[in-house]
């Protein structure tokens, strides 16, 4: 049965974006960030394509994601960075996955899991999310130095994450770099000089060479999406995902016809409506009701009325559409993921990572 709704993932475009981003940081290793099912694009396939494109590292949030990469056969360098107490550090270490310590307490948990883990230290330089800062950093540095001397852990990296890299002129960027440099110096003064220092996400990779250091961690830009719609750079990023659906119904309606729950849209003239068989259960954001658009051939068809759980309606005007005709929700030749983000009042990261439900993924350019 052909899919009613299909997310087509272009792995050639993904590999090209990885190469483009790598060229922005020629003296740094590249980590392809494939957490959250590769931002909704499919983690196993994207991970393999990232390796083919030369990514030395893969980055994920959780140990479960890292172990899924291993289960898929990936044997390269993998880092994960988000773990609650009781996390399975033993399995991560046994699988050769590098883990992140955000506090002395967490480093102790990792070491207690045994087998001389490879650990990277996270310093909070101003995002105020994970990572150690101030006295906590000093404590983590001391614990890392002790672990290194005792041979209970191998400290392989030190890293942090920007809060405002998508606003290159924001003063927080310089300040975070300064705090990071100080933190690395404090670590070095304690005798710990890991080979990998890293700080840059996509936006910093594109705009902030001073922060490239030993490794850059690229996520959103590798999927062909600008980290911020206003971020200026000269990289050509190719959209990786095309979301398409077949019209499940087409009907001609008279002026005055109201559409979908709440009747929030009413036809001003006779028109043709098309029913797109995906909804908020698939991650089509309901806040784009009456605002999003799809492409029908060369024509844009606006969303009419409220986006429902399984479906939404578009206004095809006087197009001679048929049931089964394909509309492009976003992707080359249609609106962009960011157009949907604008319509929904969010960011394109959320548009792609939320996709799921009954949408089938198909991959182009698999090797
Ligand atoms: C620690 C870390 N590094 C890198 C990234 C990649 O960020 P981006 O998708 O903006 O490139 C993320 C994603 O949020 C992250 O959590």
Q: Is residue 197 part of a domain?
A: yes
Report which protein residue has its CA nearest ligand 1's atom 13: 219
| Six-digit token string for 205 | 């990779």
Distance 4 CA to ligand 1 centre (A): 32
Report which protein residue has its CA nearest ligand 1's atom 8: 219
The pLDDT value given to residue 1: 81
What is the pLDDT of the chain when averaged over all its residues? 98
For residue 211, the enclosing domain spans 11-223
Out of 20, 43, 59, 206, mutate this one to test ligand 1's pocket (max ligand atoms within 8 Å of CB): namely 59
Paired strand residues for 364: 10
309 is annotated as contributing to ligand binding? yes
Report which protein residue has its CA nearest ligand 1's atom 16: 61
CA atoms of 93 and 326, how far apart (whole Å) = 47
| Residue 111 sits in the same domain as residue 210 | yes
Q: Count structural domains, the chain.
A: 2
What are the tens digits of pLDDT across the range 112-130? 998 999 999 999 999 999 9
Q: Is residue 146 part of a domain?
A: yes
Report which protein residue has its CA nearest ligand 1's atom 14: 219
Q: Is residue 127 part of a domain?
A: yes
Q: Mean pLDDT, to the nearest integer, of 257-261?
A: 98
Paired strand residues for 273: 251, 315
Q: Is residue 257 part of a domain?
A: yes
What are the tens digits of pLDDT across the range 242-255? 999 999 999 999 99
357 burial (CB, 10 Å; 0-12 / 13-18 / 19+) is middle
Model confidence at 2: pLDDT above 90: no
Q: Mean pLDDT, to the nearest integer, of 182-187?
A: 98
Q: Mean pLDDT, to the nearest integer, of 155-166?
A: 98
Question: Given the CA of residue 165, which atom of ligand 1 is nearest to it?
Answer: 10
| Residue 289 sits in the same domain as residue 199 | no
The pLDDT value given to residue 185: 98
Question: Given the CA of residue 81, which atom of ligand 1 is nearest to it?
Answer: 1
Given pLDDT bands bounded at 50, 70 and 90, which one contains residue 225? very high
Q: Mean pLDDT, to the nearest integer, of 323-349?
A: 98
| Residue 210 sits in the same domain as residue 245 | no
Contacts of 73 (CB under 8 A, 6+ apart): none
Distance 160 CA to ligand 1 centre (A): 10
| Six-digit token string for 24 | 């922005």
| Residue 48 sits in the same domain as residue 146 | yes
Distance 268 CA to ligand 1 centre (A): 45
| Residue 190 sits in the same domain as residue 300 | no
DSSP string, 248-295: SEEEEE-TT-EETGGG-EE-SS-EEEEEES--GGGT--GGGTTT-EEE
| Residue 149 sits in the same domain as residue 41 | yes
Of the chain, the percentage scoring pLDDT greater than 90 comes to 99
Q: Mean pLDDT, to the nearest integer, of 272-276?
A: 98
Q: Is residue 235 part of a domain?
A: no
Distance 365 CA to ligand 1 centre (A): 25
**Residue that terminates a domain, selected from 223, 250, 269:** 223
Give me the catalytic one of 14, 24, 35, 223.
Answer: 35
35 is catalytic: yes
What are the tens digits of pLDDT across the range 161-172? 999 999 999 999
Q: Is residue 367 part of a domain?
A: no
Task: Write out residues with Cβ below 6 Å of ligand 1.
Answer: 33, 81, 161, 201-203, 217-221, 227
129 is annotated as contributing to ligand binding? yes
Residue 47: closest CA among 74, 28, 19: 74
The pLDDT value given to residue 82: 98
Model confidence at 90: pLDDT above 90: yes
Question: Given the CA of residue 202, which atom of ligand 1 is nearest to it?
Answer: 11
| Six-digit token string for 246 | 């077949």
Q: Mean pLDDT, to the nearest integer, of 333-339?
A: 97
Q: How many CB atoms lie within 10 A of CB 304?
A: 23
| Residue 57 sits in the same domain as residue 205 | yes
| Residue 169 sits in the same domain as residue 284 | no
Contacts of 243 (CB under 8 A, 6+ apart): 5, 6, 7, 8, 328, 329, 330, 331, 355, 359
| Residue 155 sits in the same domain as residue 29 | yes
Residue keyed to tokens 């999406």:
225
Question: Given the CA of residue 39, which atom of ligand 1 is nearest to it?
Answer: 9
The CATH number covering residue 339 comes to 2.40.37.10
| Residue 36 sits in the same domain as residue 177 | yes
The pLDDT value given to residue 114: 83
Q: Is residue 365 part of a domain?
A: no
What are the tens digits of pLDDT across the range 16-60? 999 999 999 999 999 999 999 999 999 999 999 999 999 999 999
Model confidence at 240: pLDDT above 90: yes
Out of 121, 217, 237, 347, mutate this one to test ligand 1's pocket (max ligand atoms within 8 Å of CB): namely 217
349 is catalytic: no
Q: Is residue 73 part of a domain?
A: yes
Distance 162 CA to ligand 1 centre (A): 9
Distance 321 CA to ligand 1 centre (A): 41
The pLDDT value given to residue 44: 98
| Residue 72 sits in the same domain as residue 210 | yes
The CATH number covering residue 144 comes to 3.20.20.10
| Residue 59 sits in the same domain as residue 163 | yes
């Amino acid at each position: 049965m052909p899919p009613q709704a299909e997310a087509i993932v272009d792995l050639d475009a993904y590999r090209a974006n990885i190469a483009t981003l790598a060229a922005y940081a020629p003296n740094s290793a590249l980590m392809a960030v494939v957490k959250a099912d590769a931002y909704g694009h499919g983690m196993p396939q994207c991970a393999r394509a990232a390796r083919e494109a030369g990514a030395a590292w893969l980055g994920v949030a959780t140990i479960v994601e890292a172990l899924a990469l291993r289960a898929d056969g990936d044997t390269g360098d993998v880092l994960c960075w988000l773990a609650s107490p009781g996390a399975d550090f033993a399995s991560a270490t046994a699988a050769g996955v590098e883990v992140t310590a955000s506090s002395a307490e967490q480093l102790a948990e990792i070491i207690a899991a045994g087998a001389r883990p490879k650990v990277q230290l996270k310093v909070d330089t101003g995002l105020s999310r994970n990572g150690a800062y101030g006295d906590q950093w000093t404590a983590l540095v001391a614990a890392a130095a002790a672990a290194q001397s005792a041979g209970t852990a191998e400290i392989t990296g030190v890293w942090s994450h920007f809060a405002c890299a998508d606003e290159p002129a924001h003063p927080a960027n310089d300040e975070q770099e300064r705090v990071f440099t100080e933190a690395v110096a404090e670590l070095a003064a304690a005798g710990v000089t890991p080979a990998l220092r890293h700080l840059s996400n996509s936006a910093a990779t594109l705009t902030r060479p001073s922060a490239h250091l030993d490794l850059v961690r690229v996520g959103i830009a590798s999927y062909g999406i600008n980290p911020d719609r206003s971020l200026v750079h000269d990289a050509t990023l190719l959209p990786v995902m095309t979301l398409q659906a077949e019209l499940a119904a087409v009907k001609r309606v008279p002026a005055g016809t109201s559409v979908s729950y709440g009747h929030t849209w009413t036809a001003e003239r006779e028109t043709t409506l098309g029913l797109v068989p995906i909804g908020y259960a698939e991650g089509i954001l309901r806040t784009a009701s009456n605002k999003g658009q799809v492409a029908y051939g060369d024509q844009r068809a606006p969303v009419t009325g409220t986006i429902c759980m399984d479906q939404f309606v578009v206004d095809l005007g006087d197009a001679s559409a048929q049931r089964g005709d394909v509309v492009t929700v976003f992707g080359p030749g249609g609106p962009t993921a960011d157009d949907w983000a604008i319509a929904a009042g969010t960011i394109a990261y959320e548009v792609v990572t939320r996709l799921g439900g009954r949408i089938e993924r198909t991959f182009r350019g698999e090797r």
